[in-house]
Amino acid sequence: MTLDSRLSALHDELAPLPGVLVAFSGGVDSGVVLAAAVRALGADRVVAATAVSPSLPSSERDLAAGFAASLGVRHEQPRTDELSREGYRANAGDRCAFCKSELVDVLTPLAARLGIADVVTGTNADDLRAGFRPGIRAAAERGAWAPLARAGMTKDDVRAAARRWGLPLADKPAAACLASRIAYGVPVSAEGLARVETAEAGLRAALTGAGLAVRDLRVRDLGSGIARVEIDADRVPTVAARPDLLAAVAGFDRVELDPRGFRSGSMNELLPDPVRYR
């Protein structure tokens, strides 16, 4: 299928709906869903909802609000409380299921109050093939559905669509929730999430100040006071030779630089195979 045919399929998924509420994280996937919904239905029949919690960096919330405003859609920012869910705090391999359950359990009644029956997410076709994604299953079990996946749109398709439509987030790096930085088995807390956010902001500022701006950056909390830094692979040798830059990662007893560079979902590499691929 061509991009044109997939965009047509995406339009056909959305056009029959009386209205839709888009779970909008601020990323390119849900941003394209939001823009596609506006193109299919008009801004007055579309609502963006960005969940506010300690797992969302404040910078992402501001960007989401700006993008929603640029499309002229109503932007709701309901609070979610995934930290109240024991399974989320325990941070086993299925943590994302508890997070997505909380999200959809908050968004579904919000949509109902607004007279909207459909809650949709930014899950794309590549996500469905990515192996262990308990959050996707949890969202689907609660009735949220994924227009991009139904239309067969891959991540490359999504970015191509965003460029075609002139969306400012077309080349926005992936920005998973802060809990994804915490190794499975290390309990998630508001304090731990804030520590990761502060550490990443401090390191990014130090790198930018040294003329080493990076696209992708993660500070992974491995537990026991150990942080592992992942950055763009081509920047690894330079940063490895500058331990003073890693000193900007505050709040940890020891900071390591991953020689392999940034890898989305690298925490899943630490899961036993039977869990990762079930």
- Per-residue model confidence (pLDDT) at position 54: 94
Q: Is 228 in contact with 220 (CB distance < 8 Å)?
A: yes
Q: State the chain's mean pLDDT as an integer.
A: 93
Q: What fold is seen in the domain 178-270?
A: GMP Synthetase; Chain A, domain 3 (3.30.300)
Across the strands, what pairs with 47?
21, 74
Q: Does domain 3-164 have CATH number 3.40.50.620?
A: yes
8-state DSSP, 79: B
Which residue(s) pair with 255 in the sheet? 227
Per DSSP (E only), the strands in the chain are 20-23, 46-49, 74-76, 118-120, 217-223, 226-231, 254-257
Among all chains, which residue has been given the structure tokens 């601020």?
A: 26
Q: Is the pLDDT of residue 97 over 90?
A: yes
Alpha carbons within 13 angstroms on the beta-carbon side of residue 96 total: 20
Higher model confidence: residue 175 or residue 260? 260
End-to-end CA distance of the chain: give it in Å, rounded.
Answer: 29
Q: Which of 116, 140, 118, 156 is nearest to 32 (CA)?
A: 156
Q: Taking 70 as the threshold, does the pLDDT of residue 270 lie above it?
A: no
Q: What pLDDT, on a 0 to 100 scale, did the predictor assign at position 275?
A: 45
Question: 168-226: per-residue pLDDT in tens?
Answer: 999 998 888 999 999 999 999 999 999 999 999 999 999 999 999 899 999 999 999 99
pLDDT confidence of residue 274: 38
Confidence at residue 271, expressed as pLDDT on a 0 to 100 scale: 61
CA–CA distance, 11 with 262 (Å, rounded to integer)? 34
Proportion of the chain above pLDDT 70, given as a percent: 94
pLDDT value for 129: 86
> Could you report the per-residue pLDDT of 34-65, keeping only the tens digit for each?
999 999 999 999 999 999 999 998 889 999 99
- Whether 278 shows a pLDDT value over 50: the answer reads no
Give the 3-state secondary structure of 188-226: CCHHHHHHHHHHHHHHHHHHHHCCCCCCCEEEEEEECCE
> What was the pLDDT predicted at 76?
98
Q: What is the domain partition of the chain in residue ranges?
A: 3-164, 178-270
Return the pLDDT at 268: 67
pLDDT tens digit sequence for 233-258: 999 999 999 999 999 999 999 999 99
- Residue 276's pLDDT is 41
Q: In angstroms, rounded to a whole number, what is the distance separating the alpha carbons of residues 50 and 175?
A: 14
Phi, psi of 146 (to 5 degrees): -125, 100
Q: Is the pLDDT of residue 147 over 90?
A: yes
Task: Kindly state the average pLDDT of the residues 17-27.
Answer: 97
Which of 108-112, 183-187, 264-268, 273-277 is least confident? Answer: 273-277
